[in-house]
Structure formats: C-alpha cells, structure tokens
Structure 1
Amino acid sequence: MTRPFEGKTVAITGAAGGIGQWLCRFFGAEGATIAAIDVSERVNDLVDVLGKDGIKVIPAIANIASVDQVKTAFAGFGEVHVLINNAGISRHHTLASTDPAGWNEDIAANLNGAYACTHAVLPQMVERRGGCIVSVGSVNGLSALGDPAYSAAKAGIIAMTKAIAMEYGRHGIRANCVLPGTVRTPIWDDRKAKDPDVLKQLERWYPLGRIVEPDEVAKVIAFLASDAASAVTGAAIPVDCGLTAGNIVMTRELTLEEF
C-alpha cells in the first residue's frame, strides 16, 4: 500500500522540539523524506533516531530569523512539497516586561522566520504548480492570553496564511494554519519543577478537561497537508481542547452549575 507522503519531501522547522519531533516521526512514517530545520544541534540526532525506523532525514542547523541561513538550508533540500512552519519561542510574558529588543526577538522568531521559509519554497511550488504550507499559530493569535509579542506574531501567522491562500491558490498551492492551546511538551518541564500542579490548574479552562497532546496537533497538520484536505485553504483551525469555544470557568460561575 502506498503511503500518503511517499516520494515527497516535508520541511519542518523547529524539528528538534516537542511538536517538531512528533511531526518528523509522523510524516516520516507516512513515507516522507524529512527536511529537518532547527537552531539546535539536536536536529542532527534525528538522523540516527528516526533512521532506525527507516525514516530519511536531511538536517539543517539554522536560525529561521536569518534570511541568509534559511536560504542556505533550503538550498540543500531540493524539492519541498510540504512546508510546516512549526518553530517558535515565547520569552516575554507581559507587555511591561517587553522592551523593543524583546518585541523584535519574538516577532522575528515566530513570524518573520515563517515568512522567510515560505518565501524560500514558493518559487519552486509555483513552478511545480503544487505545494502545501501549514503554519503553527496559537490561540494567542485570537485573544489576549499573555505573551503579547508572541501573540502578535501568531496573529500575523493567520493573516499571512490567508494572504498566501488568496494569492497562490491559482498555482495549486494551499496554505492553512493550526492554532494550538496549551500543549504537553518539554517546554513545561521548568514550570512543573516550580509548581507540579501548574498543568492541572490550566486544565480547568479547557472544556475537554485536559490540555493538548503533541500528536494531536501533528495529526491535524497531517490532515491539512494531505489530499484529504484538497479543498481546504486559508483556514485557521483551533486544536485547543475547546478553549476558544468559550469561557467555561466563567460560565460555570455565572450559572452556578457544574456541567
């Protein structure tokens, strides 16, 4: 049986991170060659780790905030059929604690980097008359949930996705984004070390009563990148265990009911 991404190259930024590793493994298991990009040298470890499962990985160490580094990385990948803009950081949690340098840092890492990678693959996708771009946004792009620079960048991801869909649809190129809520990744390890109950406290805000698992984000991305979503473009899909459906904590208090 032919696997959905057999013979295709899937470029994944932030490949060495929590969601990134899941994406590499998921698409690799579906037959894709993985063009793995990360600012960390840990991306090289994926060659051996995933290679044990027969997954081919082409690693590249690059800071996607650097246009030159992005250009060099993609030059070594050849044809890219699917781009997943997954890389991102959040280092400035309040507006009061964010200076101009901090603002620029978060915008560069979360928005400008995604644009640089998109810019790198669009010409070949246009020439091939086909391609797919899926970007990882955040529920922060829809509402004020802290981390204002990060949130502004993620709102920009939504706008950029719609612009790509509008301008490049005639070339057979689709662009969509997913908007995760809190995801159980290693980024929470430091917070849990300080407060073991931090995730349990967050879970009460989610209608499903839990936070998102990395593979749940990966599966929605895989759907958007697949032929099953051939008519889906310009979409921003929450993967958030119901967070953006409404304020369940407030609703319970207003109705004085537990439901």
Structure 2
Amino acid sequence: MTDLPAPYPTALGASSSTAITLLGKDLARDVMGEVGFGELAYWLATQRRPTPGQVRVFEAVLAALADHGFTPTAIVTRLTYLSAPDSVQGALAAGLLGGGSRFLGVTEDTGAFLHEVLERHPGPLPCEEAGWDELALETVSAQRASGRFVPGLGHHVHKEGDPRTSRLMEIAVEEQQFGPHLSLFAAIGRTHPQVLGKTLPLNGAGVCGAALADLDLPLPLLRGFALLARTAGLIGQLAEEMRHPVANDIFLSVDLNNRPVAPDPHPGNRP
C-alpha cells in the first residue's frame, strides 16, 4: 500500500469540486456580499471575526495609510510602470518593496516599541492620565539616554500636528478600542517636550501602529497591514499614471540634469 502524504491543515481557504470554504464559511454564500474587505482582512489574520467597532478602527487605519502623494513608493511604482508597462504586478511590487524603516515601517516599529514598554512594566498598568504620563516620561527619558529615537514621534511635513492622529484617536474612543498602546502613545505626545526640550507631532504611521496593537493584531504583521493599505494607494497611482503620465518627466528631470564628476577615491587607495 502506498503511504498517503501527510495532511496540511489550514483554517483558511480550501476547495472541493462543488464549493470553496474560507475560515469555515461557504465563500460564495456566506462571505461574498456579506463580509467587507477590511473585516475579512482582520479575520484572515487573526481567525477571529472582528466586532463592528474593531472593523471601523481597522479600516480607518487602512484609509490613513493608503496614499501620501509622491512618496518614494509612489514614484518607484510609476517609474517601474514607465519601464515595463506590461508588468503592473512588477510596478506594484516595486512600490511595496520600498516600505521600510522610513516609509510604512514606522507603523510596525511604533506598535512593537509600545508593546515592549508595556510588557516590561511591573505591576498593573495605569488607570489614569497621570500614571500614563509618568510611564511616558520614563520611556522617553530612557530612549534619550540611550541615544535612540521614539518611534512615531515627529513628521517631516506636519510640524504642527498630523491630522490623522487626533482623528484616529477619536474613532478609537468612540468604538471603545482606545487601549494601553494608544494610551501610552498619547501620553508620549503630552510629555516628551519635558525631556526633549521641543514639541514634535505624533505622526499618523505611529498612531496607526498603536491602534493596530490595541486591536490585538499580530505585531510581526503590522507592516503587512500598512502594505495592504498602500497597495490600494499604489493602484490609484498607477491609474493616474495611465491617465496623466508624469513618470517620463521625472525620469528626464534626472537624466537631463546629471553632472559628471570624478570618482570618489577608494578608501584603500588613499595615502
């Protein structure tokens, strides 16, 4: 008798000759037309169906991160499409690959940072604003003493305040999803000037990371949710590039203005 291969268990999608199941539901009958995409994305990642309040906060995060204009991720998507118009998937992938520590990665960095602080905190977490402020002061002081930045603090454009931050916090309060990560992040916003000697805004990517962590989403996937949001934005960038192309002008602005210079001497060749 031939040994049968070991089974590969999954609670996600599976198909038979007559049906497709997803998360234990009939895809065609119970999911399509019944479950929104944001709700489904949360459900797929956690295998827990979210509450309406969780869905609203989650989708607010996706909206906040979808598009920020001509960022490097958008530019490289447009330039890749210019170079390979037959490869929409390549253009989208090029933009998503640029989601790192400066763009999009801040969402994951902030959520993980706040979670680490909360995990290290001895005893019960604060119940009042004063307690959160005390913890925030300790946190910012420790970061400064070690020469490290506080993730989610500061923005290169929104110097007077990122409009996404206050709005997402409002939504989280309305839906009773304002948990310890957002509480600590808000306290950092209130107290950091006492340590740094200047006032910096809490940026949108950071507040999104705090909100996602409060939704109890897997921390190693927080950047994935930022990329999910940015995929929609990059599709929009491609659609606009097809209608009103600018990628060739971007390319020519560099190509026609390059300036030849002598090569930098290799460090090993210096006297």
- TM-score by shorter chain over 0.5: no
Q: TM-score normalised to the size of structure 1?
A: 0.24
For the pair shown, which has the larger CA radius of gyration, 1 or 2?
2
Between Structure 1 and Structure 2, the one with more helix by share is: 2
> Looking at both structures, which has the greater relative contact order when contacts are Cα pairs under 8 Å and sequence separation is at least 6?
2
Q: TM-score normalised to the size of structure 2?
A: 0.23
